[in-house]
Amino acid sequence: SLDYCVVKIPRWDLAKFTRVSKNIGSSMKSVGEVMAIGRKFEEAFQKALRMVDETVDGFDPDLKPVKEEELIQPTDKRTFVLAAALQANYTIEKLYELTKIDPWFLNKMKGIIAYMNTLKDQGNDLSYELLLMAKQMGFSDKQIASAIKSTGLAVRRHREEINITPFVKQIDTVAGEWPAATNYLYTTYNASSHDIEFPGNFMMVLGSGVYRIGSSVEFDWCAVGCLRELRNLGRSTIMVNYNPETVSTDYDMCDRLYFEEISFEVVMDIYQLENPEGVILSMGGQLPNNIAMDLHRQQARVLGTSPDSIDTAENRFKFSRMLDRKGILQPRWKELTTLKAAIEFCNEVGYPCLVRPSYVLSGAAMNVAYSNQDLETYLKSASEVSKDHPVVISKFLTEAKEIDVDAVAADGEILCMAVCEHVENAGVHSGDATLVTPPQDINTETLEKIKEIARDLAALLDVTGPFN
């Protein structure tokens, strides 16, 4: 028999469209999928939920309100409505009647919610048994932390002190009929030994995770190119990715393939076990960059552009100050936490303005506002604007050309560069736009200026690797 359980979940990017129906039926609406492997259904299921959306901590009952019509008619977020219903003490029979989901699954989900409530009641004092059981049911450190009002790092430290760490298991492709050594690996807490040795000396590459609108196969191409080049240089490679549609998750692409989450917790666990020579983040797009600083703080060796530089580029304040110091022009912008302040700023710089939340992947929730009314509508729909979730508003230049520069640098010096011109006017996200290279409509002087700015930025950020 097979000793592992696989859960696959599609990703729907319906939040990007305002007037689209969220109902899911026989028409294909998903844009990508994830695959999670565990020893228990609960473990694989919670892993998969985190993989589909990196902002979710697991089977969380607080994300959505209970709506019976959403239980009857599936939507892209029905899983979380189900979690809320279980939290609100709906019976398995009632939920089966509404959802027609097999009671076996509903019972497992009920177990997750019940255990989360046990953790909440327990408070900050977690015994070995309680914590181990939570990890075996697929709870992440962050998820446990929010239940016991602590932090992910504190839970991690406590977990390491009492020696609760994951075990690495191989996927046996022939169900134990004869010995089969594969390099398909996953981590689990439902085990007592490792299936493999850890000789060290590997290079670890992080993939791009789930395909979404504006971020898909191009990053997989980067990851595969990176793995092939490392192999040509005689290095042993580890790939961490969880997308079954990619080439980087083919078993013959690398020496070890971890079908795992690209989150700080899991990558750090694998790093501590494998003790690789370094981790390459620059081949997976936004997702690995988001965990760069966390890995760096735990003394993981990040190869390529330093995490401090990544943070300077990601953090709008730091990046803006850097541009000002160098005298590079930028549209006026401000980070705002209230609607009133947002309206005042827009009136001051004049409409149209570009509205976007911070740290978003592939241009989600970005909009151009042409009036106070537009602004109010967008801010209400985008997300709750608050101290924790500020919104960045910048002056939007109309009738402007948008230019993309992709380059590769080593130690701040550009080795090669491609300048692309957007066919559409500025305002279409580059993941959705049509680009032409070499640029057709800009004069030589402008082109030289663009290249000069790219060279300055590469030097200021001391870039090693690709950048855009």
Backbone angles phi, psi at 349, to 5 degrees: -85, -15
- Which DSSP state fits 284? S
| Domains in the chain, CATH or no CATH each | 5-161 (1.10.1030.10), 167-308 (3.40.50.20), 332-395 (3.30.1490.20), 403-467 (no CATH)
What confidence tens digit (pLDDT) does each residue in 212-223 have?
Answer: 877 788 889 999
The predicted pLDDT at position 365 comes to: 65
- Which DSSP state fits 427? T
Buried b (16+ CB within 10 A) or exposed e, 319-357: beebbeeeeeeeeebbebeeeebbbebbeebebbbbbbb
Q: Does pLDDT of 177 surpass 80?
A: no
Q: Does pLDDT of 410 surpass 50?
A: yes
Q: What is the mean pLDDT of residues 77-83?
A: 93
Distance CA 265, CA 269 (A): 6
The predicted pLDDT at position 447 comes to: 92
Q: Is the dihedral of CA 232, 234, 235, 237 positive or negative?
A: positive
What confidence tens digit (pLDDT) does each residue in 13-51 have?
Answer: 877 777 788 888 888 888 899 999 999 999 999 999 999
Q: 379 falls in which pLDDT band (50, 70, 90)? A: confident
Q: 123 falls in which pLDDT band (50, 70, 90)? A: confident
What confidence tens digit (pLDDT) does each residue in 225-241 have?
Answer: 999 999 999 999 999 99
The predicted pLDDT at position 458 comes to: 94
The predicted pLDDT at position 451 comes to: 93
Task: For the chain, give the mean pLDDT.
Answer: 88
Q: Which of 2, 388, 385 is nearest to 177 (CA)?
A: 2
Q: What is the mean pLDDT of residues 376-393?
A: 69
Separation in Å, CA 32 to CA 52, 235, 287, 403: 9, 31, 15, 28
